[in-house]
Amino acid sequence: MATLTIPYSFVNGTTAVAAEVNGNFSAVKSFCEALAAGTNIDAGAITFAAIDAAAITSITSSVLAVAGSDDQVVLGSQVFG
């Protein structure tokens, strides 16, 4: 997985500059948004065993909830040959 880089470090007893604190928050926010979009996730980083069963159910339910009567939803597939 990609590494989060925090641009500014702070030392105890010194004044923090607001722009630097905000820069750190912006770095974390951007990193998290990229994770949510799948950008910072390396192939194979998340195994099937690491995905909570409830997450699979909620994804399946939400897909089925928006599927109309004319829609086709593929929930799984298997290839033989």
Q: What whole-number distance in Å separates Cα of residue 60 and Cα of residue 57? A: 5
Confidence (pLDDT) at 73: 59
DSSP 12: T
pLDDT tens, the chain, 81 aa long: 578 899 999 999 999 999 999 999 999 999 888 887 877 777 777 777 777 766 666 555 666 666 665 556 566 666 665
Confidence (pLDDT) at 9: 95
The secondary structure of 33-77 as a DSSP string is HHHHHTTT--TTSS-GGGS-HHHHHHHHHHHHHH--TT-------
Split into its structural domains, the chain has a count of 1
Confidence (pLDDT) at 42: 73
Confidence (pLDDT) at 76: 63
Residue 30: CB atoms within 10 Å: 13
Domain that holds residue 24: 1-81
